[in-house]
Structure 1
């Protein structure tokens, strides 16, 4: 289960960065390309985000995380590069 969470954390972080890049770099230059990419990128990111949160709750007991650790793991999903930090700090034993 932890390996799946590790994969989901990395994938969610990448999808978040791609979504931000679409908004920051493509939107000002090509609005039609931005609109055509927004739904698939946004949908993928949304599914991965929900999976990240659900997997973090499921492996809380397996990893012996306190409530504070779980809160840090979930808050990191809102910060760019946050899931990469979580993957290195909390999932290094996997």
Structure 2
């Protein structure tokens, strides 16, 4: 990022932690939200697509 590796390191770490939190949150909510495995698969796949979590929020939450 503009030739500043520390910026990439910090932003990358935050991005990775938020991704892990999303996946763990989806697994944690699997039973309370009464999702089946197909819905959980869609929710986890949406974590890989840009703006996918917005679709999940609108449809499943």
TM-score, normalised on structure 2? 0.89
Distance in structure 2 (CA, Å) of the matches to 1:54 and 1:38: 24
From 26, 29, 33, the equivalent of 1:59 is 29
Gaps of 5+ in 2: none
Runs of 4+ in 1 over 3 A off after TM superposition: none
Distance in structure 1 (CA, Å) of the matches to 2:35 and 2:12: 30
Distance in structure 1 (CA, Å) of the matches to 2:27 and 2:6: 33
CA RMSD of aligned residues (A): 1.2
Aligned length: 61
Displacement after TM superposition at 1:62 (Å): 0.7
Task: Pick 1 or 2: higher relative contact order, CA cutoff 8 A, min separation 6.
Answer: 1
Gaps of 5+ in 1: 1-26
Q: Which one has a larger percent helix, Structure 1 or Structure 2?
A: 1
